[in-house]
Structure 1
Amino acid sequence: MSSFVIKSIGNVLNATSLISSKYATKKALNLFASPRKGRYTDAQIPTMQSAFFEELDFNSGSIATYRWVGKNKTILLAHGWESNSSRWSYILSALKAEDYNIVALDAPAHGKSSGRQFNAVLYSECLAIVAKKFKPEVIIGHSVGGMATIFSMHNYNLPFVKKIISLGAPAHFTGVFSRYKTMMGFNCRISDGLDRLVLERFNKPVDYFSAANFSETISAKGLIIHDKKDRIIPYEDALLFANRYKNSELISTTGFGHSLKDKSLIPKIIQFIN
């Protein structure tokens, strides 16, 4: 979506807020939580056809899971916003070569999972269900998949998870929400209204949802990988994790972008897992 279209939508909602700030705010939150991409394209489907597919029940819907069976450690893969499990195709061969038991899931409203709405809290609930079924020793999460992993580890009993690999993950929801508000150019009526809606729906203020803060309670060993020039999630978020996630190490890259799909990182990931 072009910046012109984004600002135009923001202007329309700002104008609407003069008549009904409540209506405009609900529309703004719905827009924020509605992925525009993430369902499988024809080009992505062949990657997933080699996996054993299974759907798990969740909130009157389903979570799509994929398994490549191995005899070594179980690894759970959690993709990010407007993506799906095919994003792991760049690393699958290397993980299979280690004979890992690989599990991936599609987030709510992504891939083949049901739903139209998405947020990190909802994703963390899905992750907990999948984790409790397959009991991974390691979870690898990209972007909001990394944030949701931390939320899940903090809120649910997952003692079998011994290691977490976080790739370009946001450290706190406050930053994500703030960047959305700025991008859309929302006025104070909508910006303040969004904060109130979060409080109403989750019984917690926006600043409560801090993956960096939650990581202080996690005993599983962590590997944080983040690019210094990440244009989606600021590198400062990685520094927050490194400061608060005591049982972790940080690998900083330059030029790999938000996706962090550079193959030079794969040996480091496998070394950490082993």
Structure 2
Amino acid sequence: MKKTFNKLLPRLYGAYFNILSLFSKKKTAEKAFNLFCTVRKGRVLPQQSDYLEKAKYSIEDTLGHQLQTYHWPGNKETVLLVHGWESNSFRWRNLIAKLRNSDYNVFAFDAPAHGHSSGKMLYVPLYADCLQHMIKTFNPIHLIGHSVGGMTILYNQSKHSHSEVEKIVTIGSPSEFHEILEHYQKLLGFNTRVLKAFENYIFERFGFQVRDFSSSKFVENNTKKGLLLHDELDILAPFHASEKVHARWKGSQFIRTRGLGHSMHQDYLNEQIIDFLKS
């Protein structure tokens, strides 16, 4: 019964938004946005706790959030790790081992509503502002992001192009916000009236059009060196996202895989990331 209800729930939300939009498009859009940004997973699990507890560093206060940071000290350049949606800093454990073996100075942090950090919602502009706080605090030379974390890095870099960051790595990252929103519409089954109201809400709140929020556009003037990794069979972030970004990012390299999925924790991939940082 619970599984059946959980499958029906998105459609119930969609039907609710369709009806509510007849009376107030703005209220509908706000509720649809809040649902879109609500985080349901990603808190630290018992089996993750011991690993993260040993590396806990400062709690950074920014934008009304208390963000947990982690530190694995080393003598080489500083690397900042940026996890994806409904994840936390534990996801980097395999890469962190490789980075520590190469003596990099490694920082990571839990996004709002994730891991040990405060909050209930996350969206890329908020994540980017938190990232910028971490960049100012820890002065990383290299940034590595998985999934939405990669998109966040590229968006933030488009706003702060003169940062001291030298190299950027994205792993299985989406590119086009309109594609994400279209998937959301299909999942819930809300109509075009609700979609237009959502798009108008985004413009009024953040000042950009949905189709302009695009990693492939963010990188057009990016002068940093980049490494993109993406699996052809990724069902959470489409493979063509990184293809588009690579085509427009002059300083990027692209590693494609097949059959590794979305997480991409494999040792040989992490070794290629290390090689890129050293090159």
Matched, 1:164 2:157: no
Distance 1:267 1:117 in 2: 33
Q: 1:165 offset after TM fit, Å?
A: 0.5
Residues 65 and 112 in structure 2, CA contact (< 8 A), matched pair in contact too: no
Distance 1:183 1:158 in 2: 39
Residues 172 and 209 in structure 1, CA contact (< 8 A), matched pair in contact too: yes
Distance 1:3 1:163 in 2: 41
Match of 2:28 in 1: 24
Matched, 1:142 2:146: yes
Residues 78 and 105 in structure 1, CA contact (< 8 A), matched pair in contact too: yes
- Could you tell me which amino acid in structure 1 is paired with residue 113 of structure 2? A
Match of 2:182 in 1: 178
Match of 2:237 in 1: 233
- Normalised TM-score (structure 1): 0.95
Match of 1:198 in 2: 202
- Could you tell me which amino acid in structure 2 is paired with residue 55 of structure 1? I
Distance 1:13 1:207 in 2: 22
- Could you tell me which amino acid in structure 1 is paired with residue 183 of structure 2? R
Which aligned pairs between 1:114-133 and structure 2 lie closer than 5 A?
A: 114-133=118-137
- Normalised TM-score (structure 2): 0.94
Residues 132 and 158 in structure 1, CA contact (< 8 A), matched pair in contact too: no
Distance 2:71 2:211 in 1: 36
Which aligned pairs between 1:2-41 and structure 2 lie closer than 5 A?
A: 2-41=6-45
Residues 56 and 68 in structure 2, CA contact (< 8 A), matched pair in contact too: no
Q: 1:12 offset after TM fit, Å?
A: 2.7
Match of 1:60 in 2: 64
Distance 2:245 2:193 in 1: 32
Residues 52 and 68 in structure 1, CA contact (< 8 A), matched pair in contact too: no
Q: 1:121 offset after TM fit, Å?
A: 0.9
Residues 75 and 100 in structure 1, CA contact (< 8 A), matched pair in contact too: yes
Corresponding residue to 1:243 among 243, 247, 258: 247
Match of 1:155 in 2: 159
Matched, 1:106 2:110: yes
Percent identity between matched residues is 37
Distance 2:186 2:115 in 1: 28
Distance 1:159 1:15 in 2: 47
> What per-residue deviation string (whole Å, max 9, x for no partner) do you get for residues 135-161 of structure 1?
111110001100000111111255321
Distance 1:188 1:29 in 2: 15
- SS of equivalent to 1:44: helix
Distance 1:252 1:40 in 2: 30
- Could you tell me which amino acid in structure 2 is paired with residue 137 of structure 1? I
What is the aligned-residue RMSD (CA, Å)?
Answer: 1.5
* Count of residue pairs the alignment pairs up: 274
Q: 1:23 offset after TM fit, Å?
A: 2.6
Residues 74 and 100 in structure 1, CA contact (< 8 A), matched pair in contact too: yes
Q: 1:11 offset after TM fit, Å?
A: 2.1
